[in-house]
Amino acid sequence: MLDFQAENLRVALRAAGPTRGKDSMSATDERYLKILVSPIRVCRAYKPKMGQRDKAGVDVKEFQRLYQSDPFYHWFGLDNPLMYAAHKAAGGMTSIYRQIGIGVERLFRQVLRDNLGLKTEQAEWSYTLTGANQKLRKLSLDARIDISDVADEAAKGRIAAWLNEACQRLDVEQRVAKSLQGAVFEVRQGYKSKDSKRQNADLANAATAYTQAYLPCVVVLSNQIDSDIVTRYRAERWGILTGEESASTLTSTYASCGTSLATSRSCLPTTSVPPGPGHSNLVGNLP
What are the pLDDT digits (tens) for 202-217?
888 999 999 999 999 9
Within a domain: 85: no
SS3 (DSSP) at 199: helix
Answer yes or no: are the C-beta atoms of 269 and 276 closer than 8 Å: no
* Arithmetic mean of pLDDT, 26-53: 86
Q: How far is Cα 285 from Cα 287, in angstroms, rounded to an integer?
A: 6
Note down the domain range covering 141: 2-45+94-264
Answer yes or no: are the C-beta atoms of 252 and 245 closer than 8 Å: yes
Percentage of the chain modeled with pLDDT above 90: 53
Within a domain: 281: no
Within a domain: 71: no
SS3 (DSSP) at 269: coil
List all residues 6 or more positions away from 120 whose beta carbon is below 8 Å from its beta carbon.
Answer: 113
Which residues, in sequence order, are bridge partners of residue 188? 220
Q: pLDDT tens for residues 17-29?
A: 545 445 556 788 8
The helix-helix angle for 60-68 and 81-116 (nearest 10°) equals 140
Q: How far is Cα 162 from Cα 248, in angstroms, rounded to an integer?
A: 11
Answer yes or no: are the C-beta atoms of 110 and 144 closer than 8 Å: no
Within a domain: 282: no
Q: How far is Cα 32 from Cα 205, in angstroms, rounded to an integer?
A: 28
Per-residue pLDDT, 286: 34
Within a domain: 64: no
At residue 6 the predicted structure's pLDDT band, cuts being 50, 70 and 90, is low
**Rg of the chain in Å (alpha carbons):** 22
Question: Does residue 260 register a pLDDT over 60?
Answer: no
Per-residue pLDDT, 200: 86
Question: Does residue 269 register a pLDDT over 90?
Answer: no
Question: Does residue 266 register a pLDDT over 50?
Answer: no
Within a domain: 134: yes
Within a domain: 277: no
Percentage of the chain modeled with pLDDT above 70: 80
* Arithmetic mean of pLDDT, 132-138: 83
* Arithmetic mean of pLDDT, 237-246: 91
* Arithmetic mean of pLDDT, 246-262: 72
Helix or strand (DSSP H, E) at 240: strand 239-241
* Overall number of domains in the chain: 1
> To the nearest whole number, what is the mean pLDDT of the chain?
83
Answer yes or no: are the C-beta atoms of 13 and 7 closer than 8 Å: no
Within a domain: 55: no
Q: pLDDT tens for residues 99-111?
A: 999 999 999 999 9
Q: How far is Cα 235 from Cα 239, in angstroms, rounded to an integer?
A: 10
Per-residue pLDDT, 285: 43
Per-residue pLDDT, 273: 44
